[in-house]
Structure 1
Amino acid sequence: MPILAWIVRAISGVNRLVGETLSWLALACVLVCFTVVVQRYFFNTSTLWMQDLYVWLSGAMFTGVAGYALLRDDHVRVDIFYRPASLKRKAMADLFGVIVFLFPFIYVVFHYGWPAVARSWSYYEASGNIGGMPGLFVLKSFIIVFGVLVGLQGLAMALRAILVLADQQDLLPEHLRYKRDVDLETAL
């Protein structure tokens, strides 16, 4: 069981590092977009590659931080059953969700994404806009990054659920454990 806890910590650490790093792309996206707007409306000029850049930055950011969002439990969830559930029921729900929904989804992402990314790399695909940015193949690679990071975080979720079901959650640091809903517990 300690090895499972180590794997959960390692995967979560990778996703935290990638997520906190790539989240800075939001600032870059805003700055580039602001520059494009100033160019267009104050100087009556525009550079197409900059218009591509802020769209590409946002695409890279959102696909790259998806595993981090899963780590932070920032995804959409219907909480009417999950929120009041015991830790073991939450663990069973997460384990079921990862195995039945997340892993097949990751398979689909790789099954259809890999050929598209490989094709894009084979001819170093660039923007479809004349004067646009080169290197669209790099951006398309974030499809694979998305699949790897979300798949790994799904594995970490499944292993965490197994630790909870085996009454070994205390092997995990506090920030990786299931949170108890204090407001709900005091209301009951």
Structure 2
Amino acid sequence: MLGIADTLDGINRAIAAVIRWLALVMVLVQFGIVVGRYVFGVNSIAAQESVLYMHATLFMLAAGYTLLVDKHVRVDVFYAAATERVKRRIDIFGHLFLLLPSMAALLFWSWPSVRNSWAILEGPIAVGGIEAVFLLKSLIPAFCILVMLQSIALLIRLFAEEQHQ
């Protein structure tokens, strides 16, 4: 079972290794937009939207990796002072009854919008923008799936640790 967890971890690690470069590209493009606008008086709505697309891609596709490396937001009212065993049980509860159901619900309820967007190849957000809103909306199910896969990998490890205690 730990091999499955390692494979699921590997998926998020591989995606993070690729999309981390979007942060640098996003900063460079934004710098170019500012220089273009204020130095040369040139403006591009598509370039501005590209920053939005890159930010959304970075945020949505890196969420599973963020969960993997335990850098996600945690409300640790009880968690901080808990023993390792209690922390493990809180994590198991959180994954089974909060994270996985909420990701499944988001996936279920967003799918019609994503499907419809692909059916019409939904166009730009603004006139002159990037004609690929359908790709932007596709980040929602990708986000859900990557977070769910990572949650399953973490659950496998948590249950394995519970058995060894």
TM-score by length of 2: 0.94
2:108 counterpart residue number: 111
> How many Å separate the matches in 2 of 1:124 and 1:86?
51
**SS of equivalent to 1:125:** coil
TM-aligned CA deviation for residue 17 of structure 1: 1.0
1:24 corresponds, among 21, 26, 29, to 21
Which string of whole-angstrom CA distances, capped at 9 and with x for unpartnered residues, describes residues 104-163 of structure 1?
111121112111111110111121211111111112111111011000011111111100
TM alignment of 1:11-90, pairs within 5 A: 11-90=8-87
- 8 Å CA contact 1:88–1:164 kept in 2: the answer is no
Residues in 2 aligned to 1:155 and 1:16: alpha-carbon distance in whole angstroms: 15
> Which of 140, 143, 155 in structure 2 is aligned with 1:143?
140
For the residue of structure 2 that corresponds to 1:124, the secondary structure is coil
Q: Size of the alignment, in residue pairs? A: 165
Unaligned runs of 5+ in 2: none
Q: Distance in 2 between matches of 1:81 and 1:128?
A: 43
Moved more, 46-55 or 85-94: 85-94
Q: Distance in 2 between matches of 1:102 and 1:37?
A: 39
Does structure 2 retain, via aligned residues, the 8 Å contact 1:5–1:159? yes
Work out which of the two has the higher radius of gyration on C-alpha atoms and give 1 or 2: 1
RMSD: 1.3
TM-score under structure 1 length normalisation: 0.83
Structure 1 residues 90-109: aligned runs within 5 Å? 90-109=87-106
Q: Distance in 2 between matches of 1:55 and 1:74?
A: 23
Check conservation: 1:12, 1:71, Cα contact below 8 A.
Answer: yes
| 1:159 paired residue number | 156
Aligned partner of 1:128 in structure 2 is 125
Is the Cα contact below 8 Å between 2:125 and 2:133 reproduced in 1?
A: no
